[in-house]
């Protein structure tokens, strides 16, 4: 499940940049298709994240709760960035929020939590 989760959020980040670029290039039809794929990928991120969360049921702590909140914050920021791009509105504040939330979630996931890379 960890590999599915990492692959899906990595794909979400790549799709974020592609969708944002396409909206800025006024390629609305293809951008909307990829935006829907990004939303589907976000559901996969949430489902795999919930599965990982429940696998930690006996190790529940504050860091895990904070990682879940940071991950949801990052996904919400991704959605707001793409919606703002589709409407040609500035999204600088959401980009800042996305970077902060994604870094927090990734650092907690890879370093502090039990299924991360570092013991």
pLDDT at 118 over 60: no
Which domain covers residue 26, as residue numbers? Answer: 2-112
Q: Is residue 117 part of a domain?
A: no
First-residue to last-residue Cα distance in the chain: 19
Give the pLDDT score at 20.
Answer: 96
How many CB atoms lie under 10 A from the CB of residue 92?
Answer: 9
**Domains held by the chain: number:** 1
Please give the structure tokens belonging to residue 33. Answer: 């298709």
Give the pLDDT score at 70.
Answer: 97
Give the pLDDT score at 25.
Answer: 93
* Residue-averaged pLDDT of the chain: 92
Q: Is residue 87 part of a domain?
A: yes
Task: Find the mean pLDDT for residues 5-26.
Answer: 95
The dihedral through the CA atoms of 56, 60, 62, 66 has a sign that is positive
pTM > 0.85: yes
Using CA atoms of 91, 93, 95, 96 in order, give the dihedral in degrees to the nearest 10. 170
Q: Is residue 44 part of a domain?
A: yes
Over residues 32-50, the pLDDT tens digits come to: 999 999 999 999 999 999 9
User: 58 pLDDT band (50/70/90 cuts)?
Assistant: confident
Over residues 71-117, the pLDDT tens digits come to: 999 999 999 999 999 999 999 999 999 999 999 999 998 887 776 66
């Amino acid at each position: 499940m960890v590999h599915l989760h990492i692959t899906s959020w990595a794909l979400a980040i790549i799709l974020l940049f592609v969708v944002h670029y396409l909206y800025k290039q006024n390629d609305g039809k293809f951008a909307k298709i990829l935006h829907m794929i990004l939303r589907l990928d976000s559901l996969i991120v949430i489902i795999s994240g919930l599965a990982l969360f429940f696998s930690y049921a006996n190790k529940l702590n504050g860091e895990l709760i904070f990682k879940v909140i940071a991950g949801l914050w990052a996904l919400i920021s991704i959605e707001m960035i793409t919606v703002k791009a589709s409407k040609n509105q500035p999204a600088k504040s959401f980009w800042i929020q996305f970077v902060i939330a994604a870094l927090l979630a990734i650092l907690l996931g890879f370093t502090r939590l039990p299924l991360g890379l570092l013991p």
